[in-house]
Amino acid sequence: MAGSKGPGAESRVRTIARRPAGEESSGVRSAPPLSVYVHLPWCIRKCPYCDFNSHAVLDGDEVPERRYLDALRADLEAALPQVWGRPVQTIFVGGGTPSLFSPEAIDALLTMLRTLLPVVPGAEITMEANPGTFEAERFRAFAQAGVTRLSIGVQSFDDDALRRIGRVHDAMQARRAIETAAQHFESWNLDLMYALPGQTLEALRADLREALSFAPPHLSYYHLTLEPNTAFALRPPVLPDEDAASDMQSVIEDETQRAGLQHYEVSAYARVHRRCAHNLNYWQFGDYLGLGAGAHGKLSFQDRIVREARVRNPREYMRAALGESREGPIASSHAVPARELPFEFMLNALRLIDGVPAAWFVERTGLSTLAIADPVARAVQRGLLDPDPTVFRPTPLGARFLNDLQQMFLPEQR
Ligand code: SF4
């Protein structure tokens, strides 16, 4: 899809240095809510701006559904002792383009997850889908398989813009896909992007008007950025400048508010009770088990908080998970040093417009708030953080200069 993925789908294995001897980790007394992220890594073709772990299905090739599902099952079975007995609050099936998988495969995947994990009744189960006709015809079957929320990668309703960013669908297909999704899902999301090559403020307004005309329960609106190791990074298109992009962001905020959507995270807007519970868990520093090629996970234990990443290449991942290679499917796993936890917590929590209760910092990092007393005081003094001591919430100024605010919690800045 395009930008809606949370940390579970991180495309690059982060090379956080291993913990030097003597550097303390930190654990938690009671584990936070647990989510599951499943990565399905194939797409029809690679979009030129995309740095996710997505791989084009070669002409004539089929997505190896059966083998990949077997690998996911083996991966999960091996991971079960780490999450034993913990209820799963949400599931997110992301990619790649998960809607390339057949409804039967999605049904088998969700049945497997429900069989092996205690998924809570009424859990939000999101799946990403592209708006191609072939995929929209499957939406009903995905709902019958147990998907409760569909996230559709529309990006724009402007055919020229879609061509410029290399998308395989057109605006008409996007409209039909949205209508079909609205028939079968109460909860659904439109993924859109702004600051597209050559986009004007008027073009942005037209895109937004059209998106809002479908009364979406949830909207994710991402600023197109040039990421390293993408086709766009090699041959950069001309993008709107910073001022133009900032004007676009203001229009998005004003118009979504007028349409009854609440701006609750940097890039997310939702009606009441339609916020994405899965992404909220990432931003609130909850736990997540990441399954599938390149998936990332974060799990809390009494003596440590662990981040892990699966093998990125889908074929190697399958071989590793199925026991056909010497290595297992986990490419990296490390306990996060205590000194890095404040930044990791704030990097997520401060994305939320309403912030998070200050008590969660203690519960979810295992650290005292004294560990961040200095940067908090400085951020309040600079007008970037709300002075209310019971909550960590960016002020409007802090939200505008979010990078600066987050960086105040880096170990070397504290
Ligand atoms: S559809 Fe495009 S943006 Fe989305 S994951 Fe596939 S290649 Fe990346």
Q: What is the pLDDT of residues 278-300, one digit of tens each?
A: 999 999 999 999 999 999 999 99
Q: Dihedral, CA atoms, 274, 275, 276, 278, nearest 10 degrees?
A: -120
- CA 311 to chain centroid: 18
For residue 18, pLDDT beyond 50 = no
For residue 24, pLDDT beyond 90 = no
Confidence of residue 7 (pLDDT cuts 50, 70, 90): low
> Cα(55) to centroid of ligand 1, in Å?
9
For residue 266, pLDDT beyond 50 = yes
Report the distance separating Cα 209 and Cα 192, nearest Å.
12
| Residue in the structure block whose two tokens are 């990565």 | 39
In short, whether 3's Cβ falls inside 6 Å of ligand 1 is: no
Q: State which of 282, 312, 327 marks the end of a domain.
A: 282
CATH at residue 375: 1.10.10
Q: How many domains does the chain have?
A: 2
In short, whether 143's Cβ falls inside 6 Å of ligand 1 is: no
Q: What is the pLDDT of residue 380?
A: 98
For residue 201, pLDDT beyond 70 = yes
Q: Which residues pair with 152 in a beta bridge?
A: 129, 190
Q: Which atom of ligand 1 is nearest to the CA of 3?
A: 3
Q: 268 and 356 share a domain?
A: no
> Cα(346) to centroid of ligand 1, in Å?
28
Domain residue limits at 243? 7-282
* pLDDT mean over 141-155: 97
Q: What is the pLDDT of residue 20?
A: 47
Confidence of residue 242 (pLDDT cuts 50, 70, 90): very high
- 8 A C-beta contact, residue 118 and residue 88: yes
Task: Quote the crossing angle between the two packed helices 341-349 and 358-365, to the nearest 10°.
Answer: 140
Q: Given ligand 1 and candidates 43, 225, 229, which is best to mutate, with the most ligand atoms within 8 Å of its CB?
A: 43
Of all protein residues, the one whose alpha carbon is nearest to atom 2 of ligand 1 is: 47
Q: Which atom of ligand 1 is nearest to the CA of 56?
A: 7
In short, whether 95's Cβ falls inside 6 Å of ligand 1 is: yes
Q: State which of 254, 282, 310 marks the end of a domain.
A: 282
Q: 83 and 188 share a domain?
A: yes
In short, whether 48's Cβ falls inside 6 Å of ligand 1 is: no
> Cα(50) to centroid of ligand 1, in Å?
6
Q: 88 and 219 share a domain?
A: yes
In short, whether 129's Cβ falls inside 6 Å of ligand 1 is: no
Q: Would you call 60 helix, strand, or coil by DSSP?
A: coil
pLDDT tens digit sequence for 312-364: 999 999 999 999 999 999 999 999 999 999 999 999 999 999 999 999 999 99
Residue 258 lies in a domain: yes
Q: Which amino acid is at 49?
A: Y
Q: State which of 265, 282, 299 marks the end of a domain.
A: 282
- 8 A C-beta contact, residue 291 and residue 72: yes
In short, whether 26's Cβ falls inside 6 Å of ligand 1 is: no
Q: ω before 146 within 30° of 0 (cis)?
A: no
75 is written with which tokens?
A: 């991966």
Residue 268 lies in a domain: yes
Of all protein residues, the one whose alpha carbon is nearest to atom 8 of ligand 1 is: 50
Write the DSSP string, 288-355: EEEESTT-EEEEE-SS-EEEEEE-SSHHHHHHHHTT-SSS-SEEEEEEPBGGGHHHHHHHHHTTBTT-
Residue 314 lies in a domain: no
Q: 50 and 161 share a domain?
A: yes
Q: Which atom of ligand 1 is nearest to the CA of 46?
A: 7
* pLDDT mean over 206-224: 98
Whole-prediction pTM value?
0.94
Q: 385 and 244 share a domain?
A: no
CATH at residue 251: 3.80.30.20
In short, whether 41's Cβ falls inside 6 Å of ligand 1 is: no
> Cα(37) to centroid of ligand 1, in Å?
17
3-state helix, strand, coil in the chain (%, to 5): 40, 20, 40
pLDDT tens digit sequence for 154-194: 999 999 999 999 999 999 999 999 999 999 999 999 999 99
Q: 160 and 84 share a domain?
A: yes
Q: 368 and 237 share a domain?
A: no
In short, whether 43's Cβ falls inside 6 Å of ligand 1 is: yes
- 8 A C-beta contact, residue 88 and residue 117: yes
For residue 25, pLDDT beyond 80 = no
Q: Which residues pair with 126 in a beta bridge?
A: 92, 149
* pLDDT mean over 13-42: 73
Residue 414 lies in a domain: no
Confidence of residue 17 (pLDDT cuts 50, 70, 90): very low
Q: Residue 111: how many CB atoms within 10 A of its CB?
A: 12
Q: 403 and 256 share a domain?
A: no
Residue 298 lies in a domain: no
Q: 189 and 61 share a domain?
A: yes
Residue 174 lies in a domain: yes
Q: What is the pLDDT of residue 5?
A: 61
In short, whether 98's Cβ falls inside 6 Å of ligand 1 is: no
Of all protein residues, the one whose alpha carbon is nearest to atom 4 of ligand 1 is: 1
